[in-house]
Amino acid sequence: MRFVFRTRYEQDLRLFKDNGQKFCYGLLVAALLLAPWLFPDYFVSQLVFIWIYSVVGLGLMLLVGYTGQISMGHAAFLAMGAYTEAYLQSKGWPFVLSLASAAVVSGLTGIVVGLPALRVKGMYLAIATLAFGFIVEEAVTRADGVTGGSSGMTLGSLEIFGLPIDSEQRFYYVSLAVLTLCILGVMNLMRSPTGRAFVAIRDSEISAQSMGINLGRYKTIAFALSAALAGVAGALYAHKLRFLSPEQFTFLQSIELLIMIVIGGLGSIHGAIFGAAFWILAQQFIVIAKDWLPAAIGQQTGLQPTVFGIFLVAFVLFEPLGLYGRWLKIRTYFEIFPFYRKGMFKRQKSYMKSERLK
Amino acid sequence: MQFLQLVISGVAQGCIYGLIALGFVLIYKATETVNFAQGDLMMLGGFLGLSFMVVLGMPFWAAFFATLAVMLLFGMLLERALLRPLLGQPAFTVVMLTIGIGYLARGLVTMIPGWGTETHTLPVPYRDEVLRVVIGSGNDPLVLSMEHLAIIVVTAFLIAILFLFFRYTKLGVAMQATSQNQLAAFYMGIPVRRINMLVWGISAAVSACAGLLLAPITFVHANMGYIGLKAFPAAVVGGFGSIPGALVGGLIIGIVESLSGFYLPEGFKDIAAYIVVLAMLVVLPNGLFGDKMKKKV
């Protein structure tokens, strides 16, 4: 049992609520820093994928989980970041500069895509972003002067301040550092007035507007930041794979990113990371499981979508807060032991809210 | 002549988009959720028809109606089992659920023996037949493939039936009432939940019909549901809540796509629909037939 008794306002604003949290996260950071020395290369490589997906998941979480705007074209922002990075790197730009440019280019695109968000909302916005995703995918395929078209584009080796990033371990630290910066950035953003405005817009546009929040402005900011994070992730992704082709950034990828954060848990930073970890680890488990499943099931190409589909449906129906919700429930159970009640996290039923009346 | 030829094939393709869009619109009007699994329901329809014809050896028309009946039941079951527990939840939750259903359907279909990942041909009786029509003397004849004609004729027929159903039957009127105001309809003694279930059934059946009509042209395969993504633009162009709008939107998208495939550089055909919808959202977000409602305070 543990009580955090708040006596000052600063306690609400702190990044870490108490010393216990500081200790736990300190342990986690130490473990992550040691991981590349303890685990084989293949495992480290999968961890890198988790960090990269966490960054894009954070971006999408900012938009979907915190601001309540749906994007079904996030793979397009990933593509913008990846190709910007690849192009600038081939022109000899240093990594820090090209990474920043990838974020900026992606973010500016986000603003352009966010513009329809000023006029339309809900489903229409989802369809607008979906349309944008398809257009970018096609544009990347056709602009073969810059992107290599459907035959793809390869990247040279990465170098940061003269230090060659030539091993899995070194790239692990680069991506972990980027992820940590992104998480701290998003955490700070969510404590700021801008972040609070996002949440207010998600919960009710009308009441947010009545409190003096400029809807258009904050939605555009959310789109831009979300796209910029996706751009950063795209740049890392480009260096991880060292080969880019348009098939990596399809509509399916956008949908999978959405599924990832929903399984992780909407509306929490933990959710983005849990979702990414789940996504990568589950894929690995499926690959392993294929060997000992009977061939009739194990050798099916549809195994992975089926498993993820079942997980998504089950989470939406039974655990709407996702993996983070499950974690929160277990943690709460122990924290307030023995006072946990069954109905503590019960979903609020509400009357159907109509979006038809604007 | 070339132009007319392109327009006709565009109309045929547009009818398919229109039918799937109709499926969206029916569900959207009744329950205010967008069903992202609509294309996958179409795919299931195609596979069911295939099984009825090839495995059970049914004649085409019998298989056609059997598929519609099974998909009607399947749609109702889907609503009852998965959608109804989420009644009253935010729209995004339901959207994610339908995405999950679609994802699951695509995966499961590849696991069913006999369906799998290969492409199949639906042995329709009118396959590969063409009709030559000569308009005016001395012109080249207009070549109409029977597959396209079948799509246009069946779609027109289906729309007529749906129109009569919504206009003149008690059930149809009850559905309209439900879609306009659920609470008021409920007070009038309309069983809203059962009506919603039926709407899902009808929507699934309409999509299955689109799948059966499309099958002779694109073959039946697990990913044929992706064509449902182009029905979104169709629904938006027509105004998301309008049944005639869905069809008109479908036709517009179909024709634009067909023409841009011929007159514009390569690559534009695939994204024409999305360019049209983005333009439409900027210019006229409510679509051609969409109703504008203002909230009264």
Q: Does residue B132 sit in helix, strand or coil?
A: strand
Nearest CA in chain B to A303: B107
Identify the helix (H) or strand (E) that includes residue B143.
strand B142-145
Positive or negative, the CA dihedral B43, B44, B45, B48 is positive
CA distance B79 to chain A (A): 13
User: Which chain A residues are Cβ-neighbours of B88 within 8 angstroms?
Assistant: 349-352
User: Which chain A residues are Cβ-neighbours of B28 within 8 angstroms?
Assistant: 123
- 8 Å CB contact of A135 and B240: no
- 8 Å CB contact of A306 and B90: no
User: Which chain A residues are Cβ-neighbours of B117 within 8 angstroms?
Assistant: 301-302
- 8 Å CB contact of A131 and B87: no
- List the single residue in B104, B294, B295 with the smallest CB-CB distance to A309: B104
CA distance A206 to chain B (A): 11
Predicted confidence at residue B218, as pLDDT, reads 83
- 8 Å CB contact of A119 and B281: yes
How much of chain A, in percent, has pLDDT values that exceed 70? 93
- List the single residue in B93, B99, B294 with the smallest CB-CB distance to A358: B294
Tell me B229's DSSP state. Answer: G
Return d(Cα B48, Cα B45) in angstroms, integer.
Answer: 5
pLDDT digits (tens, 9 = 90+) for A31-74: 999 989 888 889 999 999 999 999 999 999 999 999 988 889 89
Whether the per-residue pLDDT at A304 is higher than 50: the answer is yes
Return d(Cα B211, Cα B214) in angstroms, integer.
Answer: 5
Return d(Cα B20, Cα A275) in angstroms, integer.
Answer: 32
CA distance B263 to chain A (A): 17
Return d(Cα A83, Cα A109) in angstroms, integer.
Answer: 13
Tell me B79's DSSP state. Answer: I
- 8 Å CB contact of B285 and A120: yes
Q: What is the dihedral of CA A89, A92, A94, A98, to 10 degrees?
A: -40
Digit-by-digit pLDDT tens for chain B (297 residues) are 788 888 988 999 999 999 999 998 889 888 878 899 999 999 999 999 999 988 888 888 899 999 999 999 999 999 999 988 887 777 788 889 999 999 899 888 888 877 877 888 888 887 777 777 776 666 677 778 888 888 999 999 999 999 999 899 999 999 988 888 888 888 999 998 899 999 999 999 999 999 999 888 888 888 888 888 888 899 888 887 788 889 999 999 999 999 998 888 877 888 888 999 888 888 877 778 766 554 444
CA distance A358 to chain B (A): 5
User: Which chain B residues are Cβ-neighbours of A307 within 8 angstroms?
Assistant: 107
Size of interface A-B (CB pairs under 8 A): 147
- 8 Å CB contact of B285 and A259: no
- List the single residue in B85, B91, B273 with the smallest CB-CB distance to A317: B85
Cβ proximity of A48 and A171 under 8 Å: yes
- List the single residue in B85, B108, B274 with the smallest CB-CB distance to A134: B274
- 8 Å CB contact of A305 and B104: yes
Average confidence (pLDDT) over A243-258: 90
Residues 6+ apart with CB under 8 A from B161: none
What would you measure as the largest C-alpha separation in chain B, in angstroms? 66
Structure tokens at B61: 């028309």
> Where do we find the tokens 């004649």?
B59
Cβ proximity of A273 and A52 under 8 Å: no
- List the single residue in B90, B110, B275 with the smallest CB-CB distance to A301: B110
Predicted confidence at residue A303, as pLDDT, reads 83
β-strand A153-154 against A243-244: which pairing, if any?
antiparallel
- 8 Å CB contact of A131 and B277: yes
CA distance B140 to chain A (A): 35
Predicted confidence at residue A99, as pLDDT, reads 93
User: Which chain B residues are Cβ-neighbours of A306 within 8 angstroms?
Assistant: 104, 107-108, 111
- Number of Cβ within a 10 Å radius of residue A318: 9
- Number of Cβ within a 10 Å radius of residue A261: 30
Max mean pLDDT range (A305-319, A328-342, B84-98, B138-152): A305-319
Tell which wins on pLDDT, B111 or A3.
Answer: B111
pLDDT digits (tens, 9 = 90+) for A117-134: 677 767 788 888 999 999
Whether the per-residue pLDDT at A6 is higher than 50: the answer is yes
Cβ proximity of A265 and A57 under 8 Å: no
User: Which chain A residues are Cβ-neighbours of B34 within 8 angstroms?
Assistant: 123, 126
- 8 Å CB contact of B274 and A131: yes
Predicted confidence at residue A358, as pLDDT, reads 37
- 8 Å CB contact of A135 and B278: yes
- 8 Å CB contact of A353 and B90: yes
Confidence of residue A230 (pLDDT cuts 50, 70, 90): very high
Confidence of residue A102 (pLDDT cuts 50, 70, 90): very high
Residues 6+ apart with CB under 8 A from B186: B192
Positive or negative, the CA dihedral A97, A102, A103, A104 is positive
- Choose the mutation target among A317, A318, A319, A355 for the interface with B, i.e. most B CBs under 10 Å: A317
According to the 3-state scheme, what is the secondary structure of chain A?
A: CCCCCCCCHHHHHCCCCCHHHHHHHHHHHHHHHHHHHHCCHHHHHHHHHHHHHHHHHHHHHHHHHHCCCCCCCHHHHHHHHHHHHHHHHHCCCCHHHHHHHHHHHHHHHHHHHHHHHHHCCCHHHHHHHHHHHHHHHHHHHHCHHHHCHHHCEECCCEEECCEEECCHHHHHHHHHHHHHHHHHHHHHHHHCHHHHHHHHHHHCHHHHHHCCCCHHHHHHHHHHHHHHHHHHHHHHHHHHHCEECHHHHCHHHHHHHHHHHHHHCCCCHHHHHHHHHHHHHHHHHHHHHHHHCCHHHHCCCCHHHHHHHHHHHHHHHHCCCHHHHHHHHHHHHHHCCCCCCCCCCCCCCCCCCCCCCC
- The Cα-based distances of B122 to A345, B221, B245 in angstroms read 50, 11, 30
Whether the per-residue pLDDT at A169 is higher than 70: the answer is yes
What kind of architecture, by CATH, is found in domain A36-335?
A: Orthogonal Bundle (1.10)
| Mean pLDDT, all residues of chain A | 87
Cβ proximity of B68 and B208 under 8 Å: yes
CA atoms within 13 A on the CB side of B52: 22
- 8 Å CB contact of A128 and B277: yes
- 8 Å CB contact of A352 and B32: yes
Predicted confidence at residue B136, as pLDDT, reads 64
- Choose the mutation target among B83, B95, B96, B297 for the interface with A, i.e. most A CBs under 10 Å: B96
- 8 Å CB contact of B107 and A307: yes
Verify cis geometry, omega within 30 degrees of 0, for the bond prior to A338: yes
Closest CA to A243 of A155, A162, A180, A125: A155
User: Which chain B residues are Cβ-neighbours of A304 within 8 angstroms?
Assistant: 107
User: Which chain A residues are Cβ-neighbours of B226 within 8 angstroms?
Assistant: 251
Region class of A45: left (phi > 0), else alpha (psi between -120 and 50), else beta: alpha
Boundaries of every domain in chain B: 2-224
Predicted confidence at residue A349, as pLDDT, reads 59
Nearest CA in chain B to A114: B282
Predicted confidence at residue B45, as pLDDT, reads 93
- List the single residue in B107, B270, B293 with the smallest CB-CB distance to A358: B293
CA distance B95 to chain A (A): 9
User: Which chain A residues are Cβ-neighbours of B106 within 8 angstroms?
Assistant: 302, 305, 309
User: Which chain B residues are Cβ-neighbours of A351 within 8 angstroms?
Assistant: 88
How much of chain A, in percent, has pLDDT values that exceed 90? 46
Structure tokens at A335: 């924290």
Lowest mean pLDDT among A161-165, A230-234, B188-192: A161-165
